[in-house]
Structure formats: structure tokens, C-alpha cells
Amino acid sequence: MQVTNPKIGAACDQIFTLDLNQNNFSPQSLQLVSTGKGRTTCSYFMPDGQHILYASTHEANASCPAPPKARADGKYVWAVYSDFDIYLADLKGNIIKRLTNSPGYDAEAVVSPDGKKIAFTSVRSGDLEIWMMNIDGTDLRQITNQLGYDGGCFFSHDSKKLVFRASRPKTQKDIDDYTSLLKEGLVTPTQMEIYTCNIDGSDLKQITHLGKANWAPFFHPSDKKIIFSSNHHSKRGYDFQLYMIDTDGENLGQITFQSEFNAFPMFSPDGKKIGIFKQ
């Protein structure tokens, strides 16, 4: 998990592990496994359970990169830091290998259940697209190729498909706004829908057509449904609930109804539990 907590030495997001077998949890239960330098994001266990993937800016600068400044136009933006690269580390925090070394954003890496592939988001081709590589970092291939932010992908349980969030600016104004912000290392995550495709990029499908922000998708263990977070129902913007939908875009159903932020749902490997982040 990524944590910001200056009291435990994480001035900005760092990667920690947590032993779920403990009976009581506190900040001291967290074990740092990133370098403690720069900013990190998007950690993921490797198939052996003894190594992790994560993205970090630490080689470019040991200090935390500055968060985006409040904008005069009032837009809510995410930073896509150009210094992010993807690393393989052991659970003691030792970096074993740097898997990407390209100018611009490389982050949001996930591992296929069969342990053969890593998918991630990169700006190396000029836009925020999903890329694929072998588990050792070889054989880089671009998977998506439409203008807009493609990210937050996950594999299906059979390792044959990806599900991800994507913005698709259509009007000239939206296109100009998107490309202008991207040059500043920024994106607006307020208009996104859920998509799927095969791991080679074929059979691209838009699953949701809900408007507003639909994101944090994850396949149900059956691979026939997708759980995701959305505020499409909200009149206030900041009210994110979990929904489930069939992979053909039918049978949308609401899962959560309480609190104002429910996101990052993931099924346990046995399919019996759902882990979520809520506020």
C-alpha cells in the first residue's frame, strides 16, 4: 500500500506492507519497503509473493515532487510525474531491477495472474497509453492508441483481457484542454469511462456510458462482471459508490450506499472478500 504520513517518515506516498494476521493495527504495524525517497505509487505483489513492483521518482530527486498548484480555472487535476519509473524490489526494500528507463511517466503497473506479463501506463509515445512487457521487462508493446488518458488497468483472472479507465476527449476544446494539460504533466480525471480489451489491444470495448468519473475497475472472479467506482449518480461530484456491471455493459447494479468515497475495490484471490478504500 502507499501511505503519506510524516509521523512515520513518509512525507509523501511511500510503499508499505501490512501483516493482515495481526489482531491490532497501528502506524507501527506498517513496514516500509520502498526507498523512503521521492514519491512512489501503484505497488503490486509479484507471483512469488516475495517481491513487489512499484513506481518511484527517487532516482531523479530524493525529495517529494511538488503537488499540483490550485488552478485559476478551478479544474481538479492529477499529476502524472515525468520522473516515475517502475522498479522491482524485495520485501526488505532492496531494489532488484529497474524495469523502465524512458523519459516521461511510467507507472500504474500490474502483473498478470499467470505471472507472464506486466501492464502499465506510459507517456513514451506522446499520450497516456497502456503498454505491456514481459515479467522481466523485455518485449515492450503499446496496447492502446486513442487520444486520452488510459490507466488503472487490471488483468482478467484468465490473463487474457484488461479492464481500465479512459478519458476520450471529443470536441476540439476538450482535445485542446487535454493536450495542454498533459504538456504540464497533468490530467483531469473527471470524465472517464470503463473499457476492456484483449491483452494485445484487440476487441476494444467501452463498457460504461455513464458520464462523470468511472474508474478503479476490477474483474469479478468469474471474469463476466466488473466492479468499479463512480460518481455518475451524484449531484455534488464527490460521492463515489461502487457498482457492478456485466462485461457486455448490461445489468448495472449499485454495491455500496454509505460514506462519500468508496473506491479501489479488489477481490481476494479466493473470490470471497472485497477490499475497498472508503472515507
What whole-number distance in Å separates Cα of residue 198 and Cα of residue 207? 14
What whole-number distance in Å separates Cα of residue 263 and Cα of residue 170? 27
Choose among 58, 116, 47, 50: nearest CA to 87. Answer: 58
Q: Using CB atoms within 10 Å of the CB of residue 239, give its burial: 0 to 12 exposed, 13 to 18 middle, 19+ buried.
A: middle
Q: Using CB atoms within 10 Å of the CB of residue 126, give its burial: 0 to 12 exposed, 13 to 18 middle, 19+ buried.
A: exposed
Q: b/e for 256-269, b at 16 or more Cβ within 10 A? A: beeeebbbbbebee
Name the percent of the chain lying above pLDDT 90: 86
Our CA angle for 202, 204, 206, nearest 5°, is: 175
The mean pLDDT value for 3-11 works out to 92
- The whole-number pLDDT of residue 224 equals 96
Residue 212 has pLDDT above 90, yes or no: yes
92-130 confidence digits (pLDDT tens): 999 999 999 999 999 999 999 999 999 999 999 999 999
51-97 confidence digits (pLDDT tens): 999 999 999 999 999 999 999 988 999 999 999 999 999 999 999 99
CB–CB of 16/31 below 8 Å? yes
Residue 140 has pLDDT above 80, yes or no: yes
- The whole-number pLDDT of residue 278 equals 81
C-alpha distances out from residue 78 to 17, 18, 68, 205, Å: 25, 27, 7, 25
**One-letter amino acid identity for 46?**
M
Residue 236 has pLDDT above 80, yes or no: no
Q: How confident is the model at residue 24 (pLDDT cuts 50, 70, 90)?
A: confident
What whole-number distance in Å separates Cα of residue 130 and Cα of residue 94? 27
**One-letter amino acid identity for 91?**
L
Q: How confident is the model at residue 258 (pLDDT cuts 50, 70, 90)?
A: confident
Q: Give the β-pairing of 31-32 and 10-17.
A: antiparallel
Choose among 200, 193, 198: nearest CA to 249. Answer: 193
The full set of domains in the chain, from first to last, is 2-20+27-169+190-197 (2.120.10.30), 207-279 (no CATH)
Q: Using CB atoms within 10 Å of the CB of residue 5, give its burial: 0 to 12 exposed, 13 to 18 middle, 19+ buried.
A: middle
Residue 235 has pLDDT above 90, yes or no: no
What whole-number distance in Å separates Cα of residue 264 and Cα of residue 271? 16
- The whole-number pLDDT of residue 48 equals 93
Q: Which residues contact 45 (CB under 8 A, 6 or more apart)?
A: 51, 52, 111
Q: How confident is the model at residue 26 (pLDDT cuts 50, 70, 90)?
A: confident
Q: How confident is the model at residue 28 (pLDDT cuts 50, 70, 90)?
A: confident
